[in-house]
Structure 1
């Protein structure tokens, strides 16, 4: 009987996993950089009207969005009349003042004068709700208003 045994030949060598953590972190970094986070989930129909003279906003982080339109198919339990959506929830016209105050409080004090309110209103929405929104914005002194539209000819809808 010998003290040393000979290795049995054959068998598959083990897979080298030394580079695996590098590859995983590279993929993680790529997806962190390339992913865009959605800001709001729309609960309303939002077919924007067309306009032929359109300008792009420079700083989108200084924009507060107010959506208006009929509830989408998933939210028909809220009715068929045009509704206002602030962030991810339906709201009343009276809730706009608190929404503007909260948005102003979340920004630095020197940026507050540059805040713009963007109205994303469905093309089929009556102007009465838009007038009510504008009245509330006047009450809280949010006078910089932007109407968001699609670029195109007004006559070719």
Structure 2
């Protein structure tokens, strides 16, 4: 004869894990869409100057960034004079031509005429370095130049 067990009062039913894979994939998709990858690690101080007439660039993927400024606190072994940073490394003025050529080669042929060079220069950097950068850009025919600034009053009253 079979024995019948009585149900114990107060037992909780087991938690259903049927929807767990759906939740995991939904979270994975959310973080893939919402996460922004950092472009470059700055090794220089980059306190941008202010400007009162600022425009946003339309296509950020057609912009090549050249950074200039004094090495930050973690990179004081490179001196205190303003330096150039291309991608994630310090560079000299003579390396700008190779940088521009590599950036042009990484883009589709029809997009090359639309490439813009953005100079993100610290407000305390000397103009001699910026002049040298501009001369090197002229040599490689990179004539579309953008100066990146912060929006605000030039005189600091805003």
Distance (whole Å) between structure 2 residues aligned to residue 135 and residue 21 of structure 1: 57
Alignment pair present for 1:133 and 2:136: no
Q: Secondary structure at the match of 2:103?
A: helix
Alignment pair present for 1:79 and 2:79: yes
Cα RMSD of the aligned pairs, angstroms, is 1.4
Structure 2 unaligned blocks of 5 or more:
none
Q: Which moved more, 1:27-36 or 1:59-68?
A: 27-36
Distance (whole Å) between structure 2 residues aligned to residue 101 and residue 109 of structure 1: 12
- Partner residue in 1 for 2:32: 32
Distance (whole Å) between structure 1 residues aligned to residue 115 and residue 71 of structure 2: 27
Deviation (angstroms), 1:28: 0.9
Distance (whole Å) between structure 2 residues aligned to residue 74 and residue 138 of structure 1: 33
Distance (whole Å) between structure 1 residues aligned to residue 120 and residue 3 of structure 2: 80
Structure 1 unaligned blocks of 5 or more:
none
Q: Deviations over 1:89-110 (max 9, x none)?
A: 1111111000000000000001
Q: Secondary structure at the match of 2:95?
A: helix
Distance (whole Å) between structure 1 residues aligned to residue 3 and residue 111 of structure 2: 78
Q: Which moved more, 1:14-23 or 1:115-124?
A: 14-23
In the superposition, the TM-score normalised over structure 2's length comes to 0.92
Distance (whole Å) between structure 2 residues aligned to residue 21 and residue 87 of structure 1: 39
Distance (whole Å) between structure 2 residues aligned to residue 105 and residue 24 of structure 1: 39
In the superposition, the TM-score normalised over structure 1's length comes to 0.93
Distance (whole Å) between structure 1 residues aligned to residue 28 and residue 38 of structure 2: 19
Deviation (angstroms), 1:86: 0.4
| Number of residue equivalences | 155
- Partner residue in 2 for 1:99: 99
